[in-house]
Structure 1
Amino acid sequence: MDFISDPTCWQQSVDPSAPPELILSDLLMPKLQGDELLKQVATRYPSTVRALITGDSSRDIPELAGANVHFILPKPFTESDFSYVLDSVERLYDLPLSDKARNQLAGLEALPVLPSRIRKINQALRDPDADVGHIALMVSEEPALVARLLQLANSAYLGFGKQTMSVEVALNRLGTTVTSALATCMLAQKVFSQVSAQEHQSIVDQHLKLAGLSRNLSEQLGVAKAHQESIYLAALMSALGELVIREMGTHQQDIESLSTIEPGRSDALVITSYILILWGYSLEIAQIVLESEEEIELTTLPQSEGQMIWLCRQWMKQDSQTSRNQFCQQLAPQIGHFFQDWPE
């Protein structure tokens, strides 16, 4: 670790042959503002992860975020906030991506910084001592999120028979993993200025369907409950990569074929895996996202969480009852029967 007192001399303190993995900078500094310093870092060392510490309440977080900043730590921050950044950076370097891909990802202008509202809700959900009633109040301030939570909590296909209109009951039914994923996808709309609310909703809806289908398939195949939740989370959060690409101006119909960051990998899934690590999710979830484009023989049973998502994605691509029937006939009987019984 290197500590630099004069921000204008930061480059002299860095070994050019060994770019730093992480640079943290205060925002308000003499001679050079922190956001400008990180802009210089991004130009000189594009793969370095960049974090900004700020107590300046006069500037909005979205104004500070962008291609030059990966993390923003508003003051006062806690030790756990700091650990979250360090853990995330460690996981980023464990992602199975090339240096070229890391450089490109680190410089994406549309890469979103985790909104503070999502961070606070997710922190509360991860706290084992958190009061469910307090979390319900936080969630209730977001009407669109409440509506979607209640919809899922009343879904027969997630195993819920009794109807409820209680946010607390919905939180208990869905659990922290599903609630956190849904809150992240729904509230992320605030960081995308070029994606309309209607389009955002459409993309999230498609991935909600994929997530529910994938989790039900994993349950059918006897996958442990903890892994079912990981599958649901990876499938739903894959919406983030699509949203980033749409924010960059790519047409929706072109997203699936886009593979410019890492050869042989979908840009949307690579971006999703990168964002998930930046936003504090586990390396396991990011790897499931990447594995969800690994093709398998249709006649075989999926052997990994990612393969189950891939199979469900193929079924969702069938645009008619005839094509769905033909698709099911190619599958192992256990899988074919599952999809034939799934309502459209």
Structure 2
Amino acid sequence: MNVLLVDDEAQVLRGVARTIECEAEEWEVHSANSAAEALECLDSEKIDVIVTDMSMPQMDGAELLEIVEIRFPNVLRIVLSGQADRDSVLRAIKPMHQYLSKPCDPDVLLAAIRRAEIYKDTITSSEVLDAVGRANCLPTLPSIVAEINQEIDSDHGTIATIASVVSRDPVLSAKILQIANSAIFSVRQPILDVEHGLSLLGVEMVRSLAISLAVFSTENRATLQTATQLFEHSVDVANIARTIASVEEVDSTTLNTVLSAGLLHDIGKMILFNAFSDRYTSLISRSERGLHQAVDLEKEEFGCSHPGIGAYLLERWGVPKELTDAVAAHHSLGICSRAEIATQIVYAANWIATHPDGATPIDVEEIQSPMSKKLTKFLCQLKRWSIHYRETQQAPTS
């Protein structure tokens, strides 16, 4: 692992470098006193992570990271700064992956780097890694932006009503959770739900975020239609997860986890679609014809699948582990059978959304070979949740 530290204060550089070298002896640390020097280092060395200050002469941290995002998208981009005013944060949001404040606990910095590497190891394709590196500008839908503006400007708009609109957009929701969980707001507990995150950011910052992400062209109807379908499926999964969570009477933390993870579970698909539109549209068409599952076709085409890609992006963004675990496992029956209930609920919600016939991955009653007790229990639970959800959908409304 090669880490590049950038700060115009030599004493700060030496202190952070010593800390990393002591705690992670296997890492190689490079230092730069300016953005220009940092770019020279990036040109000559294979850098995995850049950690930069925001306030520097000639070229500040936000400008530097904008260049790094374009020229070296695979590099994990971390801001380590004591400067957190609104304008500087807005400028850094697009290119940065994580924001840590000075003085920073060394364990926090090391954990931020190590967490992101867990899922990177599952992705062997350099073009996919580049796509994840450029995913900070994943698009949102223009219609969502219009609704957010209308709700903010309304006399009756509240944080809750704005959050209900935002929660129909997985990309914007993920960005809000990314920023809310950064050191900018110095929160003590993970922020797991969009409404809480929105209340921290403020409506004007959310409006700015939505506008900056709304880059889909309404003239490209095929692109817009596919994006809309992806978003709508994510919302369906979140709503099904809510229904299951209510049956299980889970606590508020688990409820917030399943709602957000349900909304974010297919963000890996959005990365693939945004970066490889024609190839991925063709892949989805083949999957919809029922010959192969999308995850299998993704592995064949890209060498990895959307759950791991999405989890890798969210880890880079510093989104809470509870959410990334659920995103990573939402197609993994074996992992889910041993996981916490939030991860199991997200798996079940996605399965129910894509299998309206009520089928389960394995018919427990017809299985011939012995299964683990945990897998058997989870399959029975999945069948029960599926039956309950279909019954609630068929129940007459009063």
TM bracket (short chain): 0.5 to 0.7
Structure 2 contact 268–310 (Cα < 8 Å) conserved:
yes
Q: Is the counterpart of residue 97 in structure 1 residue 147 in structure 2?
A: no
Deviations 1:236-276 (A, max 9, x none): 0124222221112111435543126996x62x222322332
Structure 1 contact 211–231 (Cα < 8 Å) conserved:
yes
Rate the CA distance shift 1:229–1:24 in 2: closer, same or farther, 3 A: same
Match of 1:112 in 2: 135
Distance 1:224 1:168 in 2: 22
Match of 1:227 in 2: 254
Match of 1:335 in 2: 385
Match of 1:306 in 2: 343
TM-score, normalised to structure 1, is: 0.58
Pairing of 1:141-290 with structure 2 (within 5 A)? 142-145=145-148, 166-168=157-159, 170=161, 177-179=193-195, 190-191=214-215, 196-248=223-275, 249=277, 250-251=280-281, 252-253=284-285, 255-256=294-295, 257-259=297-299, 266=305, 268-290=306-328
Structure 1 contact 210–309 (Cα < 8 Å) conserved:
yes
CA apart distance, 1:221: 2.2
State the identity as a percent: 10
Rate the CA distance shift 1:337–1:6 in 2: closer, same or farther, 3 A: closer
Structure 2 contact 49–76 (Cα < 8 Å) conserved:
yes
Distance 1:102 1:81 in 2: 34
Rate the CA distance shift 1:196–1:259 in 2: closer, same or farther, 3 A: same
Distance 2:160 2:66 in 1: 47
DSSP-derived class of the 1:212 partner: helix
CA apart distance, 1:10: 4.4
Counterpart residue type for residue 345 of structure 2 = M
DSSP-derived class of the 1:308 partner: helix
Deviations 1:27-81 (A, max 9, x none): 9449xx8369637973xxx7531358999x9xx979x96xxx54498xxxxx759
CA apart distance, 1:287: 1.4
Rate the CA distance shift 1:260–1:81 in 2: closer, same or farther, 3 A: farther
Q: Is the counterpart of residue 34 in structure 1 residue 32 in structure 2?
A: no
Counterpart residue type for residue 177 of structure 1 = D
CA apart distance, 1:212: 1.2
Rate the CA distance shift 1:100–1:316 in 2: closer, same or farther, 3 A: closer
DSSP-derived class of the 2:249 partner: coil
Structure 2 contact 148–162 (Cα < 8 Å) conserved:
no
DSSP-derived class of the 1:22 partner: strand
Counterpart residue type for residue 147 of structure 2 = A
Q: Is the counterpart of residue 24 in structure 1 residue 52 in structure 2?
A: yes
1:316 to 329, 353, 360: 353
Rate the CA distance shift 1:102–1:167 in 2: closer, same or farther, 3 A: farther
Distance 2:194 2:66 in 1: 38
Rate the CA distance shift 1:325–1:304 in 2: closer, same or farther, 3 A: closer
Distance 2:147 2:46 in 1: 46
Distance 1:203 1:82 in 2: 40
DSSP-derived class of the 2:135 partner: coil
Structure 1 contact 269–289 (Cα < 8 Å) conserved:
yes
DSSP-derived class of the 2:77 partner: strand
CA apart distance, 1:283: 2.1
CA apart distance, 1:147: 8.0
Mark the runs of 5 or more structure 2 residues left unpaired by the alignment. 1-16, 18-29, 168-190, 199-205, 288-293, 365-378
CA RMSD of aligned residues (A): 5.4
CA apart distance, 1:203: 1.6
Structure 2 contact 311–327 (Cα < 8 Å) conserved:
yes
Match of 1:133 in 2: none
TM-score, normalised to structure 2, is: 0.51
Pairing of 1:83-94 with structure 2 (within 5 A)? 90-94=111-115
Distance 2:149 2:39 in 1: 48
Structure 2 contact 358–386 (Cα < 8 Å) conserved:
no
Mark the runs of 5 or more structure 1 residues left unpaired by the alignment. 74-78, 118-140, 150-164
Equivalenced residue count is 280
Distance 2:338 2:77 in 1: 42
Structure 1 contact 181–237 (Cα < 8 Å) conserved:
no
Structure 1 contact 234–289 (Cα < 8 Å) conserved:
yes
Structure 1 contact 214–232 (Cα < 8 Å) conserved:
yes
